[in-house]
Structure 1
Amino acid sequence: MAANGILFTSHFAKVFEKPSYWRYWLAYTLSAIGFELITFALMVVLFDLMKTSLSMGSFTAISMFCMVIFGPFVGIYVDAWDRKRIFLVCNILLAALIFSLKYLVGPFGIYSVWFLASLVFVFLRPVRVALITNLFPVEDYFKANSAFMMSLNFSKIGGPLIGGALLVFFSREWAMNIILSFFLLSCVLVSTLNFHPVSPDRPKREISKWQWQNLTAGIRFILSHERLRFFILVGFSWRLFLACQLPLYIVFVKNYLGGTTQEYSLFMTILALGGAVGSLIAGGVENLISRNRMIYGGLGISYLLFAILPISQSYLLALILIGLSNLFFYIAHVAIHSDIQKVTPNEIRGKVFASSPTLLIPIGLVSILIATPLADTVGVQWVFLCSGFMALVTLPLVGYMSRSFTRIARTGRNDEI
């Protein structure tokens, strides 16, 4: 146990050895918590108004629509514009949207604010990841990603905990004031940092001309790279079968388990806590387990635990299973994320991270639009059970398909020669 503690401590010591590192880590965390607060609060208020799975599916579909439609365009500007400035503007806009929630009521107001917040997040998501590579050297990407994945999960822990407390103990106006403060504090921290330029030896006028000629550069790079194609297939499989979990957790807790808002808050907190622990474990076992074992093993166990989640209506058992499921999922997720950054050149990272949703989210959107009406009809428990087992049994097919695509590509090149 002591040896493991030393391993984790020494592993993350380098990540926070400079003030700029921990300041950005804190800014990233505050911004991420703020967005989780928006998501949690709006979902709870909307579900209490509408009380249907379909309303939750529509809510999630809005954010997916924004990523699919605007993702490739956003990637161009994340690589061409000042990433620090994009980060600041996005957080200020999110604070302004939260301020507007003080005066908007009803489903239409909630959907409208969520659409605009999702649009801003399309910019914020890739720039937060890209800025990591503008601070850390390439040999520290895995360590940095493990720490920032923990940060992302801390935000998912803090979002439901803080969001639940705000909805229960504070007025709507004070709740909105507290949420917007997270974005403003994040801006203050980032304003004190200096990041490495995206590509210091390339003139800005060349970038401006180049950006419109390469609208699909991120997608083409992903599809041309063997390792990235494998990750796209992994993401495709997850979204095909398990994207439905995103809008249905609140339905599962409140309808199937008979829980309250506080119990839903705790459920989402345990979910995120499992992810944070998984991110920590992934950083500690980087040199002990191969990346493929982390990916296949982590995803396989995660899918199995999710599939058996509805076998009982015990709230305590559900907490244990969902925490462990997300723990193993994030062990795989850290390994995937780090590999993507390692094989992607800095000048195209923004395009790759912004364009990947364009390839993956449409199938997730279809999955949600099918699963949420089904949950209203047959029950959320059957949707979870069937989708979890289908994801598990098709996982080996992902590796087989990736190898098949590679063999076909090599055969085509040999024929040309």
Structure 2
Amino acid sequence: MGGSVWRRIAVDVTPLRHPAFRRLWIGQSVSFVGFQLSSVAVAGQIYDITSSSFWVGMLGPASLIPLVIFGLWGGAVADAVDRRRLLLWGSVIAWTATVALLLHAVLRLDDVVLMLAAMAVHATGFAITGPVRGAIIPRLVPVAEVPAANTLNFLSSSVGSVVGPLIAGVVLNSSGYTAAYLIDALLFATGFYAAVRLPSLPPLGATRRPGARAVAEGLRFIAGHPVVLMSFVVDIIAMAFALPRALFPEMAAERFGGSPLAFGWLNASIAIGSALGGLFSGWVSRVSRQGIALTVVIAVWGASVALAGLAGELWLMVVLLAIGGAADLVSAVWRQTILQTYAPDEMRGRLQGVFYVVVAGGPRLGDLRAGFTASAFGVTPAWVGGGLVCAVAVLAAGLAVPSFRRYRPGRRP
């Protein structure tokens, strides 16, 4: 009896039986830890240089423009070329930006503009590789295992988002920014090796020359399917209004005396919940009313963030943000699966390009929103107000679209 219950709630690891997916999953999991190290280090270093959440928030727009341009372009290219080759080129671009941050720290330049430029290059590489990774999953595992593969991917990124910031807190406290960037540069090799070992992945079916017309076809597909469109809308609401990431340095300084360990825990808190949610995600694929469920879990995310902003103890903030992180993990799995199962293979790259722009660009808008409102109203109003607006807005949007509200997997309203 106990074993049966565990199989129903525990994460499904069936996709790891496929060697190509397993190597890619392990490589991405390891390299993502390094990426999180650098992300925390960049935010902390910029705050050390400027003592301003506004400049930390500027990481958002610095990354957003390349994410939008190259995310859409990368998705269109992924539908027209060998996806393995495109993944390799995008990875090299991202790694070059990490090396630039390492040299910047070694030379002690303390130049915020250079750091923002490096992060823009890094975003370019990730904007190219992100859509490719999503588009190749249905080529590496059977269609029936796509939801489980997505859950494993989100779980690995969640675990990396826990381990990376916690390691970053220790590394920054003991060795400084240079060590954090160096570790990231070294861990990158694991993910690159996994990409090298992938089989050739040429496009299937009809292809279109990458460009504005191909991108427009993908956007028309999204606009013509309200369920797909709303899956993007609710995510933008969640990230643009409620994500408090840019406020972590100021919150750590204001409430916890600038402790690097407190800073690391704040950065890890959302991912702790995502990781725990992923470990107990066996029920996720059995939810039938996914439209209304998406609306509810994102409202939970917003409410949890708002409550965390009112908490005075670090442990309580971490717990509340972890609850929000678990809700975010569940919503991410459902949104990704909707896209991958709605679209034919020749359209998946473009839809994954838009998905990546929203998933990666939404947090950048959130960084900008958080930094601006904190500068204008203070860190606590910016934090709490954003969570409340998210909860109200997503309920209004999700309940207002009947086809999304009634959506069940396998059906096209």
Q: 2:158 aligns with which of 142, 150, 153?
A: 153
Does residue 351 (structure 1) correspond to residue 356 (structure 2)? The answer is: no
Structure 1 residues 396 and 170, CA gap change in structure 2 (3 angstroms): closer
Structure 1 residues 240 and 93, CA gap change in structure 2 (3 angstroms): closer
Does residue 166 (structure 1) correspond to residue 138 (structure 2)? The answer is: no
Structure 1 residues 325 and 275, CA gap change in structure 2 (3 angstroms): same
Equivalent residue for 2:181? 176
Equivalent residue for 1:391? 390
Please list the CA deviations of residues 253-292 of structure 1 after superposition, one character each: whole Å capped at 9, or x if unmatched. 3324434122111222232111112233334342256323
Equivalent residue for 1:75? 75
Structure 1 residues 272 and 215, CA gap change in structure 2 (3 angstroms): same
User: Quick check: 1:134–1:198 contact (8 Å CA) kept in 2?
Assistant: no
Structure 1: gaps of 5 or more residues: 407-417
Equivalent residue for 2:54? 54
Letter in 2 for 1:181: L
Structure 1 residues 211 and 98, CA gap change in structure 2 (3 angstroms): closer
Cα distance in 1 for partners of 2:359, 2:199 equals 33
Does residue 114 (structure 1) correspond to residue 115 (structure 2)? The answer is: no
Cα distance in 2 for partners of 1:166, 1:379 equals 29
Structure 1 residues 155 and 13, CA gap change in structure 2 (3 angstroms): closer
Structure 1 residues 197 and 324, CA gap change in structure 2 (3 angstroms): same
Structure 1 residues 402 and 232, CA gap change in structure 2 (3 angstroms): farther
Cα distance in 2 for partners of 1:297, 1:3 equals 28
User: Quick check: 2:253–2:259 contact (8 Å CA) kept in 1?
Assistant: yes
Does residue 85 (structure 1) correspond to residue 85 (structure 2)? The answer is: yes
User: Quick check: 2:28–2:190 contact (8 Å CA) kept in 1?
Assistant: no
User: Quick check: 1:79–1:351 contact (8 Å CA) kept in 2?
Assistant: yes
* Equivalent position SS for 2:286: coil
* Equivalent position SS for 1:12: coil
Structure 1 residues 268 and 311, CA gap change in structure 2 (3 angstroms): same
Cα distance in 2 for partners of 1:403, 1:304 equals 24
User: Quick check: 1:153–1:272 contact (8 Å CA) kept in 2?
Assistant: yes
Please give the residue correspondences for 1:8-23 in structure 2 after superposition, counting only pairs within 5 Å: 8=9, 12-23=12-23
Cα distance in 2 for partners of 1:5, 1:360 equals 31
Equivalent residue for 1:374? 373
Cα distance in 2 for partners of 1:250, 1:371 equals 12
Structure 1 residues 86 and 36, CA gap change in structure 2 (3 angstroms): farther
Cα distance in 2 for partners of 1:367, 1:177 equals 28
Equivalent residue for 1:230? 230
User: Quick check: 2:34–2:183 contact (8 Å CA) kept in 1?
Assistant: no
* Equivalent position SS for 2:285: coil
Deviation at residue 362 of structure 1 after TM alignment? 7.8
Deviation at residue 364 of structure 1 after TM alignment? 6.8
Cα distance in 2 for partners of 1:118, 1:102 equals 16
Letter in 1 for 2:303: L
Please list the CA deviations of residues 283-307 of structure 1 after superposition, one character each: whole Å capped at 9, or x if unmatched. 4342256323531332222221111
Structure 2: gaps of 5 or more residues: 406-413
Cα distance in 2 for partners of 1:378, 1:169 equals 34
- Aligned-residue RMSD, C-alpha: 2.7
Q: TM-score, normalised by structure 2?
A: 0.87
Letter in 2 for 1:185: T
Please give the residue correspondences for 1:315-330 in structure 2 after superposition, counting only pairs within 5 Å: 315-330=314-329
Structure 1 residues 135 and 388, CA gap change in structure 2 (3 angstroms): same
